[in-house]
Structure formats: structure tokens, C-alpha cells
Chains A and B, each alone.
Chain A
Amino acid sequence: MSNTITGLSRRGFMKLAGASAAGAATGSLLGMPAIAQDGPIKFWDMPWGGTTYNNAMKGLVEGYSGSLGAEYQVIQWANFQQVFASALASNTGPAASTGGAFQAFQFAEQGQVLYADAIIEMLRESGKIDDFLPGTVEALTTPEGIVGIPWNLDVRPIWVRQSLLDQAGVAAPTTWAEWLEVGRALKEIDVYAFGTGAGPNNNFGYHSMMALMINNGGGLFNESAEPDALFERNVEAMEFVREMAVDGMIDPASISYSTDNLDQMWRTGKCALGYHTPGLDEVLGETDGDLQVMSPPAGPHGDYGSAYYVNNIMMYANNPSVEATEEFLFWYVNNLEHAWVEGNAPTLPALRSVAQTDVFQSRTQAVKVIEEWQPICKPMAARAQASFPALASIDAGQAVTRFTQTMLQGRTEARAALERLQADLEDLM
């Protein structure tokens, strides 16, 4: 029997289908030319503080009276990298946005984000640049340019539950050695001295490891931004974690804790110390003073420090007008107070003027974080001179999560775990 049916052979049919698919695929891969956006300026923002925050910022942005105007859209954190990447690939992305801390580094390298040097220059000329907290603009500076404008800070301070310390008859530790002493006392009352979690969507465990390394003068990278996980101070810091794990000061189940599990641990008084966000007391609804931000402890060599993210506002290559977008961002930065005063943003501001507002000053613990922790914090790129694009894939990725879970388990020598991490980092970079 012939395969020819009414003039179209089966092979011909397959060719037609294949040609359709291949044509479409090739078109995508070759990359369509960027289609310049028409106005208004599309600004994408993340849910930094719930609906109050986003409603306030929507009102602010849509009230912008610049030449092109501006429109506001909220992007959820879930899979935000895919959302931004897909939008940029299809030329439907924003002209400017907030987002992940290392997003701007990554997209700038790929030519999708424009360097913000011109806006920084506008801020310098207006004197606004002096309003930024020390180290924040520097944290976004690369050899090629400044990738974004800092606007909020995600610091990792150590929290303590004072009532549990009182119950154990100890004071908040001021050194790592004291931390171990406090841990032993807390263990007597069945309370953990290092509350953390490394389960689904919980990065506090990884943040804690980084904070401790930085607290000890370490960091995962050398000055040239190459992986250097086996730096001796890192080994020392991770041995400290291992000692706590082996001595039962860390909940053995914490390696699988989600953020909900961790918050529940704080809520039920199962842990008395641990790294968390600057707004833990507000998240748990306990602002009566029992939950307090501890003063930074000294590492074994007298170093102080913790990890933080400098969240930034970035400008994209696909925008209706570079000048108009820069003008919008200059205006936006000068009105950032709105996020805290009207939007109740729970994050920490990168601007001194916002930190001085009555609204922010009423947040006792957050003020302590700004005053005592922010000045000693370093980005996740520590000890490198500047952050770099590969951090977007390293931060909270598989390699650091696996490493954190290994350390919290307490069964592996610090050096062995760091060797594996070093190999993983080299692969990613």
C-alpha cells in the first residue's frame, strides 16, 4: 500500500511538521532583536513587606509625573529568577526593578542590565550620595561599573530570647567561647543555642555558615574573587559549628527545617540563640523585648562581622528611554522614605535619612541592627574586593545548601566538607 494519501506523502507530512518546529526554534535561538519599549516606564517590585508595602509603592510609582510616567507591577519571590529571565528573553521585562541581591550582577554581565553610574553621579551632584550607609554603594561596585542603587539591607544578626537565658542563668555571649558555655547551660534546660534550618526554601542555615566565617575574618572567596573555601579561618569557623552540633547545641532535625519549622522553634522556646532576619520579633509578633538582637560576638581572633545582602534597584537595557529611566530612578531613590513611612517596609533602609525617621526609630531591635551590625557586615562575596555575577548561582544554591546540611549534621570534618564545597564552587564559576 502506498504511503501517498491525496497528494501528501507521510514523509512530506513529517517534513512539514519538522520545518514548522525547526523554524520556530531557530528563530528563538538566533535571538530576535530587542524591541524598544514604549512608555510608561515599567517598574517591577518584589513583595518586600506584604500588601501594605506594595500598595504604598504602587501609589508612589503611579503618581510619578515624569515625561513618560511609570507603571508598577508586583513580582512574587517564588521562582523570580525564571520570571525575570523569561521576561528579558522575550523583551517583555521591566525598565527598572528591585529583585535578588545578585540579580543585577548576573544580568549586567549578560548585557541586560545597564550600569547605574550615571544615576550615582546624579545622586553625587545632588548630595544625596552621602545619605547612603557606609559600604552599601561599594558593595555594588564592579570593575565595569555600579550595577544598581542600594535601597534596603538584609542583615543577619544574632537574636536571643532573654527569658530562656535568664532561666539558664547565663548572659548573652560576647565571644564564641562564651557561646559554647551558654550552649552547655541551655542544654541543661533542653534548649538549643544555635537555632537554624536548611530545609526547603530555608536559607538561614547557609546564611549562618557565611556569617560565622565572616565573623572569623573569613569568606568563601579570595581577594581575586576565586573560590577559597579552605581558607584557615573558614575551617576554624566550621569546626565551631561542628562542635556545637556534636555537643547537642543544634537541633539535629534542623537540617530539614523550613522557615516555618524554624519560626515555630523560636515561638515555642526551643532555641534561645540564632541568626535570623532583622525583623524576627515583628515576624513572630513578639515586640515585648523578650526577643532581642544580641551585640555582635567576637570571633576567636577578635574579629567581628556577619553577612548581609545589599538589595538594589536596577535599570534594564530594554527601556523606553535611558534618560527618562534614570530620571525616574533618581526620583524614586529620593522618595524611598515612603516605603518605610507609608508602606511599613520590614527591611532595613540603605539610607541614613530613612533610618532616622520616627517610624523606623520606633523599631528598637531594627535600630540596633543598623547601629551595631550593619557597619561590620560584609556581602556574601567576602573576602573578594567586589561581588560578581557567579554569586547569583552560588547563593542559596545546591552546593552551599548541601555544605550547610553536612555541617549541621555534625558527622563530617569541617575540612572535608569545605573541600567538597571548594570543588562545587570551582565547577559553578
Chain B
Amino acid sequence: MSDRTDPLDVVRAAQGRSGGASRPRTDWSASRGRLFLVLIAPSVLLLALLNAYPVAYAALQSVRNGTLITAGEFVGLANFAKVLQSPDFWHAVRFTAIFTISGVAGSWLIGMALALALQARIHFGGVFKVLLLLPWVVPIVVSSMAWNWLVATPDSPMPALARFLGFGTPLFLADPVLAAVTVCVFKIWCSFPFMMLMMSAALSAIDRSVYEASSLDGASARQQLFYITLPLTRRTTYISWILMTIFCINDFPTIYLLTAGGPIDATTSLIVLAYRLVFQNFQTGPGVAVALMMTAAMVVVSMVLFRQIRKSGATA
């Protein structure tokens, strides 16, 4: 045992406390715990107000029959039952799935293709990158107006072009099927620059010597794509899919500004349905129930994709 003086005893002696009889360790730990509580309280309160409060409030609204002003009475899971029995809900689920799958797949395919193309050394590559980013950068209000001008009336440029090419006069926003296609294409157009950025970053992290070695071994461009590029970028791919899935499911303005969910509900997604229920029909409970089910779906999709990320990390 050392006979050296404990530095804490020196401090305690200087404060006039007895160095011989030190306080029990549990007291010291408890006071530190209280200090910790005081220090984190502002952050906890802020987090609770910003995150937990809206979710808790929404959860309470989903089991009540209130309006935007009144809290209403407790109705249990009746709002969820009503929503699940509604054909409008399942119609919205179907369109949300189509919108999300096409949005994620379409934007990733185009984004990946452009990212690969931009790997090549070309003149004015920076200019191309900036131009390709424009759909992502331009406010959705502006781009939706531009698309409306392009396709809304029979005399708009796109229907006029189709007529010129002998395809008749397609009603891009008035025909339910074409409107759904148009909204999905609009979403892909808005989103591919994000995917392009993500995949460009992933591609630039791949060591060029891997490609050189595979070339020496006689690998074709197709083999390099499927056996080198895609496996080495899959973590980024999964992350971008998670993010784009959340973007698509939560995307209100892209749909609402172009079609408002019409014609005849052809482009009504879950988020548009929730908005209509709450703010047009003033049925807060069912509207919030839709939103909560959307959240649950997003959590499930994200967990599946996160599992894929972990797997890819383990095998990388």
C-alpha cells in the first residue's frame, strides 16, 4: 500500500474538510447523478418538445374523435378500424406503393447511370453536374408549374408533340392512368440528382486499381459493373433507398401541386389522404391514424433495409 498523499485529501483539507473520514462513494455518485440530471434537463425538454410531444399528441388524437379545435372523446381504435375498412385507404396504399417503388427504382437507375457516365473525363463535366442538379435544386412549386405548362392542356407542348408524332392527344393529367404515370415520372425527375450525388460519392471511393486488375484478368465492362461496382457501392445504395423511400412516402407537394390527388383519386397517396381527412373533412382522428400507419410502414421498410446494410457490412 502506498503512503503517498491522496490529492483529493489535499483538496478536502484546503476546504476545511476532514481528509481522514471520506464520504461514502454512493453519496458522491448520487450528487453527480443530480448534476447530470440538471445538465441534461434542457436538452431532454427540448427533445421532448420537438420530437416526443408531436408524436404523443398525434397518438392521442388518433384514438379520439376530435377536430382541429376540440380534443373530442376517446374512441379506442375505431379510427384505425374505419380507415382500414375504407376503400379509399387501400387505393391510397396501392398508389403510394407504386409511387414509392417507381420513385426509388427510377431515380436510382437514372442517378446511377449518370454517376457512372460522369466518372468519365469529359469537357465541362462540372457544368453538366450543375445542370443535372437543377431538378433537385429548383423549388417544387416552380417545377410543378413548369410541368403543368408542359402537359396540362391539349395544346401544351407534350400533347402537341404526341399529336405531331401521330399518338393522338394524350391527356397527361386528366386520364387517371396517365396522371399516375405523369406524377411518378415527375417524382423521378425531381429525385434523380439526389441519387446521382449519392452514387457519385460512392463510386469515387472505389480504388481504381481494382478495375485495372480486373481488366488485366479479362473482365468485361458488364462483369465489372455487376461484380465490382454494384457490390462495392451497395451500402450507399441501401442508404439512398432508405432515404428515398422516406422521401417518397412523405411526399405531399409533388403530388398535390400537380394533380391534388386527382383525377378521381388516381394519384391520391397516403399523405394526401391524411391531409384531406384532417384539413378538408376535419376528421382528425382518422387522418392521424393514416399518418401513424404510414410511420409504422416506413419504420418496417427502413429496418429491412438497415438489416441489408449490416449484412453488406459483414460481407464487405
Query: Which residues of A line the B interface, CB within 8 A?
Result: 5-8, 13, 16-18, 20-22, 24-25, 28-31, 79, 81-82, 85-86, 88-89, 106-107, 110, 112, 198-201, 251-258, 260-261, 264-265, 268, 270, 392-393, 396-398, 401-402, 405-406, 409, 428
A17 and B52 contact, CB distance less than 8 A = yes
A261 to B29, CA, bound (A): 71
Given A6-B36, A252-B174, A255-B174, A18:B68 Cβ within 8 A: no
Given contacts A6-B29, A261-B152, contact A199 B262 (CB under 8 A): yes
B290 lies within 8 A of chain A by Cβ: no
Chain B, range 26-83, C-beta contacts under 8 Å to A:
29-30, 32-34, 36-37, 44-45, 47-49, 52-53, 55-57, 60, 64, 67-71
**Nearest neighbor of B272 in chain A, beta-carbon distance:** A398
Known A8-B33, A257-B152; contact A406-B264, beta-carbon cutoff 8 A = yes
- B66 closest partner in A (C-beta): A29
The answer to whether A22 touches B44 (Cβ under 8 A) is no
Min CB–CB distance A100 → chain B (angstroms) = 12
10 contacts between A and B (CB under 8 A): A6-B32, A7-B30, A16-B44, A20-B45, A21-B49, A22-B56, A85-B67, A264-B153, A393-B280, A409-B263
Q: How far is the CB of B269 from chain A (nearest CB, A)?
A: 13
Q: In the assembled complex, which residues on chain B have CB atoms less than 8 Å from the CB atom of A30? A: 71
CB distance from B73 to the nearest CB of A (A): 11
Nearest-Cβ distance from residue A252 to partner chain B, whole angstroms: 6
Determine if A401 and B281 form an interchain contact, defined as CB atoms under 8 angstroms apart.
Answer: no
User: What residues of chain B lie closer than 8 Å to A397, measured between beta carbons?
Assistant: 276, 280-281
A110 touches B33 (CB 8 A): no
The complex places the Cα of A7 from the Cα of B222 at a distance, in Å, of 59
A110–B70 CB distance below 8 A: yes
B37→A8 contact, CB < 8 A: yes
Q: Are A29 and B153 in contact (CB under 8 A)?
A: no
8 closest A-B pairs (Cβ-Cβ)?
A7-B33, A21-B52, A85-B68, A256-B173, A200-B260, A20-B48, A25-B56, A256-B174
* Contact A265 to B153, CB < 8 A, known contacts A7-B32, A82-B279, A398-B280: yes
User: Chain B contacts of A198 at CB under 8 A?
Assistant: 262-263
Nearest residue in A to B67 (C-beta to C-beta)? Answer: A110
Nearest-neighbour CB distance to chain A for B274, whole angstroms, equals 12
CA distance A409 to B64 in the complex (A): 38
Q: A258 to B258: give the CA distance in the assembly, Å.
A: 9
Q: Which residues of A contact B55 (CB under 8 A)?
A: 21
Q: Closest B-chain residue to A90, C-beta based?
A: B69
Residues of chain B within 8 A of A17, CB atoms compared = 44, 47-48, 52
Minimum C-beta distance from B241 to chain A (A)? 30
Contacts of A28 in B (CB 8 A): 57
Known contacts: A6-B32, A198-B262. The answer to whether A251 contacts B56 by CB under 8 A is no
Contacts of A199 in B (CB 8 A): 152, 173, 259-260, 262-263
